[in-house]
Amino acid sequence: MRRRAGVGAIQKQRLEQEKYREKGSEIQENQFQQMSKQLEVFRENLEEFASKHKSEIKKNAQFRRQFQEMCAAIGVDPLASGKGFWFTVVPIGKGKWLVQSVPGELNLDQTLVLQKASTLGTAWVSTSILTQDLSWNDTRAENALNHMVKEGLAWVDTQDPKETLYWFPSMFAECVSASEDAVSTK
């Protein structure tokens, strides 16, 4: 005779599932917090680094390029300000520095978008690239991209025959070298 599962067993199973879910989201939450924190620490270090090595960054073209790549990877846009961002690093207290060219916080999705554009080496991404390569749905991709447009990080290009492209000046080679020229002639 086949034994039917009793009410108690079902409840026990449901309870376990709930516990798993709770634990799962707890772990996820922890990971997210840790990651955000790491990113924050890294950014702080980057800012401190920029202020310490200001003259070296200005003098050495190769060093400057590496530094800019690093900035792009973490989502700090050294070109957000026309003057170049090492000029806008201002002291706000004992050993604390404020980088004014960072327009608001970059969330994780935006960082992933920048990383994608950086890996592709195209200086642009599109909704279809994000949905295909990152397995995002349309809404997630559009939200991230629209947000970056609103923050002044991305430029919209509607003249591609297939779809709207989102361009990042900080990754566009000619723009980067133009700003290098501007810095080195100062």
Partner 1 sequence: MAEVVWPWQYNFPPFFTIQPHAETRAKQLEAWQQLIAIYLKSNKQSTMDIREASNSPLFNNTSINRKLSPESILTILEDMAKSGKAAPVDKSKNVWEIYWHSLDEWGNMIYNWANINGMNNTVCTLFELREGENSVGEEFHGLDMNVLIKALKSLEMKGKCELMEFDDNQGVKFF
Q: Which residues bind partner 1 (CB under 8 A)?
A: 82, 124, 149-150, 152, 155-160, 165, 167, 169, 172, 174-175, 177-178
The string of DSSP letters for 53-66 reads THHHHHH-HHHHHH
> In degrees to the nearest 10, what's the CA dihedral of 150, 130, 112, 51?
-50
The dihedral over CA atoms of 85, 91, 96, 101, expressed in degrees to the nearest 10, equals -20
In terms of CB distance, is 41 or 182 closer to partner 1? 182
How deeply is 5 buried, as exposed, middle or buried, from its count of CB atoms within 10 A (0-12, 13-18, 19+)?
exposed
Nearer to partner 1, 87 or 155 (CB): 155
Residue with Cβ nearer partner 1 (62 or 159): 159
Taking the complex as a whole, how short is the minimal distance between the CB of residue 17 and partner 1, in angstroms? 45
Least distance from partner 1 to the Cβ atom of residue 64, Å: 16
Least Cβ distance, residue 132 to partner 1 (angstroms): 21
Choose between 135 and 158: whose C-beta lies nearer to partner 1: 158
CB of 56 to partner 1, least distance (A): 25
How many other CB atoms are there within 10 angstroms of residue 166's CB atom? 25
β-bridge mates for residue 90, sequence order: 98
Q: Which amino acid is at 30?
A: N
